[in-house]
Structure 1
Amino acid sequence: MKKLNNIITSAVRARPNTIKFKSKLTILALSMGMLGLTSTVTMAAPTMQEQLEILQKQLVQQQQMMQEQQKMMQEMQRQLNTQKLAKDDIEHEVKEIKKEAENAELKAQEAEFIAQQAHEDMKELAIDVSKETHRVDASQGAHIKIPKSDTVLTISGFIRGSAIHDFDEIASPTKFATRHIVVDGSSSTEPNNQTTLTANASRFVLGSATPTEIGRMTTFLSWDFDGNTTSDDADLRFRQGWGQLDGFVFGGDLRVGQVWTSWDDLDALPETMDFQGPNGSQQQRKPLIRWARDLDKDYTLWLSLEDPDYNVTDGGTQSGWPDAVATLNWHGDWGHIKPAIVGRQIRGDADNGGTDTVMGWGTQLAGNIKVPLFHEKDNFKFQAVYGSGVGSYNNDGGFDDAMFNANSNLKAIDSFQGFGAYQHWWTDKVRSNAVFGWVNVNNLSEQSDDSLDRTLYTAANIVWSPSKKVDMGFEYLWGERRNKNDDSGSAHRIQAVTKFKF
């Protein structure tokens, strides 16, 4: 603008005669200056139209950006919707999974209940093998349901290892049978100092139970390897084999087969590390037929006919009538008492000719009484037997039931035998037993001088059960044998036992 003003001023000041000539030039120059000014002004400040156009362009751009943003928002919304749907699906799936898990848990609980009920039913049906053996050897065993049948098998038993040392002469190295004690002064090949290691008393038990239309049927089989008394050699021995129908005859159980004699009382037997047990006990297994019935909750009656297995001196035996045994078990929370009677016919052929028969009989009282003086589990066990012609029921044996005299008359031999035992529990896992047993025989005049007249048995032990399935014990034993002529001998023994039940 300043340059344009200078040009106009110079033109005015020029000579007049030149004004006209140059008027057009001046006007032209002025016009050109104005044009330049206009151009300059236009470039410096756009017109409203241009501003509108610029704004319109910016608006278009903003609209495009908004459209892009809207598209992005729509995409984000779509993604959110997709995610929401996915979340809903996941939540639905989670709910379904939870529902399935709850159903599965309910089914599992139902299956567990059914399995538990089936197990309880199986246990209720299964035979209780612990009742068929000495309590210290008892184990419930394992129950197995045979597929596609109603029969439940029970497998049980134990492994029993013993370390025995004898300080005197005795002819039964694995059992402390007092009748085998060597009498002083007699000739014997038995060592007076010997150690024996044995597992012959290990046992295997197989039982079964099957429901039938006439009642539950049970069977029982057991074996051990202790058939030898005078040797430590293993000898497989059949112990029991019987079958039973529950509630079969007049509401009572019928048992047939080889089983513990009804004359014995398993629950009254004391716990000894000696596998033989006290000399005055009546541990015999016999073929028999037995009927048993609970008279009420406190009394159980046993009636049995048993194999007439007896021994006769100076003669042979003939099978007469079976032995008849009747027992009544009175039991309660205090323990039990079991009186019993036996009657038998003893028949034999004399060595010098002739046949004769004599009646044998016996009475006994056995029991297991709780004596919680020092510990709630303390108890006293006992058995006392008196009779004539019942020697073959004795645990040790060693004396006959009857003998023939010189006139071929058969006479029964009287005897008085039994034991007493006190068990004290030091703790719930440690206990001790003190046992005393006796056998007194009323010798006949016809018997030889070396006939057994009396035996005594004592045992004292301590037993530790680190588990219900494991027993470990140590025991001291002393015994004596006296013959009819008063010759006698005694023996001492120590014994350690470990037993694993299954």
Structure 2
Amino acid sequence: MPDGQTQVKLYGNVRVDATYDFKGSNGSISNGANYPLNKDDPRQDSLNVSAATTRIGLDLTRPTQYGDLTGKIEADFMGGNGDNGSGTFRVRHAYMSLGKWLAGQTTSPFVNTDTSPETIDFTGAVGTGTTRTVQVRYTQPINAQQKILVALEGGDVEKVSNAAGGSRFPALTTRYDFKTADNKGLLQLHGLAHENRVAPKDSSSEEKFGWGVGIGGKYDITPQDSVVANYYHVKGDGRYLSYSNSAYAYDTTTQDINLGEFDSAVIGYQRKWSPILRSTFAVGGIQYKDDSVYANSNLTNTSYNKEIYNALVNLIWNPVKNIDLGAEYTYGQRETFAGDKGDYSRINLLAKYNF
């Protein structure tokens, strides 16, 4: 840079995805939670392609009297419909950090990025969390193996579109990390708390507390074999974990907020067959409490699921440096609160150049 002190590193990837849906196609490379129900005789044998998952970023570093000031800007083209030649520029990360403090948009401490399996599918296993929020975060190291992260996160905390109002306060998220001394194992504990609020008028409002806890781990059994797993229990949130429903159902007659409550679990195993060939098998699922007012309120809502899961297996080939070529098969099923089911079956092909 012109100041002679700021270092800039360009990175990213050029990526092309192709999916072929044998059953339950939603016309997208992304596996949303609302693929068609079997009773609707959904279309089958559908091809979709995309290059919108291509990513570009900048890492910036500048020395100061308080330590290195760092920054990151990263974006892709999945801000809207990224299928079949379409794509909208989207900010993924945009933050700065100095010492123990960070401000800007990046991955939430509540989600399980570090303990999720490697998949080709852009959305990943059901229950995977990749949510990136605007936050102010503080990191406190305990020792060489342990640290605690605490963040205040704002912006669409509840992610509910059919009710006026919105939380008055930022969400509070936390994460505790423990790494084994040999770096083979990682344990993480996650926490979340935020307000759910509906305020159709200034003189009337309803608030209920949303919260979540999670635990995740990763362990390298051998240099060639590793496992990951995580589990969450969440009430009154639909933002942080993929494939979850909205945080609550609002009854306009009684003006009550009825919170959704669910458990999620993800498990994965990776095998490195050789220095250039690796595979992952993963299963993920979410299950909601179905004996609640929330469930009864959504009996006719076909986009809300009582439970949803998927299973994925892939093979990724690294023929030359920075090139990944892969194939993955996914099978999934969802069931609505009314008991209607939808199945999908898919092959996903990947070509990616990392730089």
TM-score (norm 1): 0.65
Task: Look up the equivalent residue of 2:21 and give its one-letter code.
Answer: D
Q: Which residue of 1 aligns with 2:34?
A: 180
Contact kept, 8 Å, 2:116 with 2:266, in 1: the verdict is no
Q: Is 2:298 the counterpart of 1:447?
A: yes
Contact 1:350 1:404 in 2 (8 A): no
Q: Which residue of 1 aligns with 2:338?
A: 485
- Contact persistence 1:220–1:242 (CA under 8 A): yes
1:439 positional shift: 1.0
1:324 aligns with 2:324: no
User: What is the aligned partner in structure 2 of residue 285 from structure 1?
Assistant: 132
Give the Cα separation in 2 of the matches to 1:194 and 1:338: 39
Partners in 1 of 2:41 and 2:164 — Cα distance?
Answer: 28
| Structure with the larger RCO, 1 or 2 (CA within 8 Å, 6+ apart) | 2
**How far did 1:446 drift?**
2.3
Larger radius of gyration: 1
State the 1:230 CA deviation: 7.5
Among residues 136, 146, 169, which one is paired with 1:299 in the alignment? 146
CA distance in 1, matches of 2:320, 2:164: 50
Paired residue for 2:94, among 212, 227, 241?
A: 241
**TM-score, length of structure 2 as denominator length:** 0.91
For residues 259 and 213 of structure 1, the distance between their equivalents in structure 2, rounded to whole angstroms, comes to: 25
Q: 1:218, 1:313 → 2: CA distance?
A: 35
Partner of 1:340: 190
Counterparts of 1:239-388 in structure 2 under 5 Å?
239-246=92-99, 253-307=100-154, 309-312=157-160, 315-332=163-180, 333-349=183-199, 354-372=204-222, 376-388=223-235
Q: Distance in 1 between matches of 2:167 and 2:152?
A: 13
Contact 2:48 2:83 in 1 (8 A): no
| 2:49 aligned with 1:203 | no
**Corresponding residue to 2:270 among 423, 432, 440:** 423
Distance 1:255-1:298 versus aligned 2 partners, 3 A rule: same
Aligned counterparts of 1:315 and 1:367: Cα–Cα separation in 2 = 37
> How far has the Cα of 1:231 moved from its partner?
4.2
1:334, 1:370 within 8 Å by CA — same for their partners in 2?
yes
How many residues were matched structurally?
Answer: 343
Distance across 2 between alignment mates of 1:340 and 1:484? 28
In 1: Cα distance, 2:27 partner to 2:108 partner: 24
The residue number in structure 2 matching 1:499 is 352
Among 48, 70, 76, the alignment partner of 1:218 is 70
Report what 1:400 is aligned to.
246
Give the structure with the higher percent helix.
1
% identical aligned pairs = 20
Q: Write the deviation string for residues 48-82 of structure 1: whole angstroms up to 9, x where unpaired.
A: xxxxxxxxxxxxxxxxxxxxxxxxxxxxxxxxxxx
Q: Identify the residue that residue 472 of structure 1 maps to in structure 2.
A: 325
Cα 1:172/1:418, change in 2 over 3 Å: farther
- What do you get for the CA RMSD once the two structures are aligned? 1.9
- Tell me the amino acid that sits aligned with residue 421 of structure 1: G
Stretches of structure 2 lacking an aligned partner (at least 5 in a row):
none
- For the residues of structure 1 that align with 2:318 and 2:242, how far apart are their CA atoms? 27
Structure 2 contact 158–166 (Cα < 8 Å) conserved: no
The superposition leaves residues 443-466 of structure 1 with CA deviations (integer Å, 9 ceiling, x where unpaired) of: 422223333111111110111112
Aligned-partner residue type, residue 422 of structure 1: Y
Q: How far does the alpha carbon of each residue in 1:89-134 deviate from its partner, in whole angstroms, 9 at most, with x for none?
A: xxxxxxxxxxxxxxxxxxxxxxxxxxxxxxxxxxxxxxxxxxxxxx
Please identify which structure carries the higher strand content.
Answer: 2
**Amino acid of the residue matched to residue 402 of structure 1?**
Y
| Structure 1 pair 181–288 and aligned structure 2 pair: CA distance change class (3 A) | same
Structure 1: runs of 5+ lacking an equivalent = 1-145, 247-252
* Amino acid in structure 2 at the alignment position of 1:284: T
